[in-house]
Chains A and B, each alone.
Chain A
Amino acid sequence: MDISAFVLFWAAIFTSNILLTNFLGMCSYLSVSREVESSFGLGIAVMFVLTVTAALNWLVYNYVLVPFNIVYLQFIVFIIVIAAFVQFLELVIERYVPALYYTLGIFLPLITVNCAIFGVSLFMVIRDYSFLQSIAFGAGSGLGWLLAILMLAAIRRKLKEKLVPTGLQGVGISLIITGIMALAFVGFSGIVQIQ
């Protein structure tokens, strides 16, 4: 793909938002968006994981999978790399930022199975990005995810849940709000197309 890493970074946030355009990474997004502080913490963690795993998986793909001809195992290998990295990150956070570790709780290891992380690595392979492009794409997607969860958390904080019909309270109204946000983001699509 002949697109500068810089443009790719911004495209990943707005026109090709991993969550609002591709609808990946919804589970922890819906659960953690109840509180703004934990949303921010989780968003930063996801962004960090996305950037690093995009880079790591690019290296593994191009220097291990391709030379050894086991590209078909990319699904398994990518997940193993992501899992190892998230576990490592958890140890680091527990040691150096115990406050964040306490706030995120179970959602930190759950980042491993967040489809957004895996999705970014797969997109990187499908669209054949270079190393720099992968990092930019990972960082941009992370920032886009962070943006989306912060917006939903902010809206939910102001939402008077008791005015919502009982059947739609909780997940229902969150999904509707997300859909409306996605519609708004469609407005960015004319700027640059990467998918």
Chain B
Amino acid sequence: MKETPQELRVRKRMLPGAITLNGFIGKDKRSLNTIIAADEQELEALGFSPEDIADRMQYFTDASFSTFDGFIVIDGIYKVETEVVRGKLPCPYAHGGLYRKAVTKITNTEKNISLSWTSLNIHLIKDHHFFEGKGSMYRLEPSILVKALY
């Protein structure tokens, strides 16, 4: 079944070279709805909502924001640093709003997991329940995300 014109436009904006160099879809051939539904199911099974996860990610990003080029350690376990580069990115859903290019790198020293995410990721997870397609540079597997952040 054809995706609606809106969905096709969004997916086009998620391809490499449209907004970012590597895009948001990676090698995933599934439709956007399918990707989002699958991730939502996985997250529900773990007992978290995408909003909870997004808020937790925002908490770490805010805490490490004004550190001037360094990292901080939270709760003795999480080593976080956030780096911001110039410019803003639009959301591929094109509903307006620009997101700064802030990359947060977090290492859970206890469980030995390292992840990165951008401000746009937080928005995509919170408002669109989208964790990026499999194979994409900033793809966040819900299960690994939960393990690392809690």
List residues of A whose CB falls within 8 A of some B CB.
30-32, 34-35, 38, 103-107, 161-162, 170-171
Partner of B2, one of A31, A35, A38, A103: A31
List residues of B whose CB falls within 8 A of some A CB.
1-7, 9, 33, 37, 40-41
Contact check, A34 vs B40: say whether CB atoms are below 8 A apart: no
Contact check, A161 vs B2: say whether CB atoms are below 8 A apart: no
Total CB contacts across the A-B interface at under 8 A:
26
The answer for the CA separation of A32 and B41 in the assembled complex, in Å, is: 25
Partner of B4, one of A38, A161, A162: A38
Contact check, A162 vs B37: say whether CB atoms are below 8 A apart: yes
Contact check, B5 vs A161: say whether CB atoms are below 8 A apart: no
The answer for the CA separation of A32 and B33 in the assembled complex, in Å, is: 15
A-B contact sample (4 more), CB < 8 A, given A31-B2, A38-B5, A170-B1: A30-B1, A38-B4, A104-B5, A107-B5
- Beyond A161-B33, A162-B40, A162-B41, whether A31 also contacts B6 by CB under 8 A is no
The answer for the CA separation of A120 and B4 in the assembled complex, in Å, is: 26
Contact check, B4 vs A31: say whether CB atoms are below 8 A apart: yes
Residue of chain B at shortest CB distance from A162: B37
Tell me which residues across on chain A come within 8 A of B9, comparing CB atoms.
Answer: 105
Tell me which residues across on chain A come within 8 A of B40, comparing CB atoms.
Answer: 162
Show 26 A/B contacts (Cβ-Cβ < 8 Å), sorted by A.
A30-B1, A31-B1, A31-B2, A31-B3, A31-B4, A32-B4, A34-B4, A34-B7, A35-B4, A35-B6, A38-B4, A38-B5, A38-B6, A103-B5, A104-B5, A105-B5, A105-B9, A106-B5, A107-B5, A161-B33, A161-B37, A162-B37, A162-B40, A162-B41, A170-B1, A171-B1
